[in-house]
Amino acid sequence: FSVAAEPLGPIAFILKARTTVLRDMGGAMSPFNAFLFIQGLETLPLRIREHSKNAQAVSEFLNKHDKVTKVIHPSLMEGEYKKRADDYLNGGYGGLVGFELAGGIEAGKNFINSLKLLYHVANIGDARSLAIHPASTTHSQLSEEEQLASGVTPGYVRLSVGIEHIDDIKGDISQALDNV
């Protein structure tokens, strides 16, 4: 580095710090961002409990709905898988719920487009409830065979259940299912 930086003179150190060190270690957080980060860490257990509780209620609700053919959530598993989920997750099964809609890709699109409270985004783990239909979004560039090989079926919808009131979440899902 020193030979290559020689023509730059005194500015070489600053360039190195700004390009390499900043890239590798990141910048310093502002005091307000540090405060928000600590707030998030301190409230994480409360939010995770609410995510898990709401997701379990949503999975039970979906499991009884006639337009839903399959629900994927650890609380609904049976046999050895359920025992493992109970052992490892201590009854907090997480906030992700997957389900299959009867009616395939059009049903999935209609469901997503009918949601009013849940956000249509690809990320997970937000305090807000999120939904995505992978066959028409994240996996749409794949052929149907490639989608199936990757575990994405035409009517599959993934939810990241948030911490809103459970009646609001179930109400939005219910009205969206009515439009399928």
Residue that wins the pLDDT comparison between 8 and 90: 90
DSSP class of 141 = T
User: Domain span at residue 155?
Assistant: 44-178
Residues in CB range of 52: below 8 A, 6 or more apart: 91, 92, 93, 94, 95
Domain annotation covers residue 97: yes
Domain annotation covers residue 16: no
The whole-angstrom separation of Cα 59 and Cα 16 is 52
The whole-angstrom separation of Cα 117 and Cα 130 is 9
Domain annotation covers residue 8: no
Residue that wins the pLDDT comparison between 119 and 12: 119
Domain annotation covers residue 158: yes
* Number of neighbours of residue 39 by Cβ within 10 angstroms: 10
Read off the pLDDT of residues 75-128 as tens digits, 9 standing for 90 and up. Answer: 999 999 989 999 998 878 999 999 999 999 999 999 999 999 999 998 888 999
Domain annotation covers residue 15: no
The CATH number for 170's domain is 3.90.1150.10
Domain annotation covers residue 76: yes
Domain annotation covers residue 10: no
Report the residue count for the chain.
180
Domain annotation covers residue 32: no
Total domains in the chain come to 1
pLDDT at 5: 64
Q: Are 176 and 111 in contact (CB under 8 A)?
A: yes
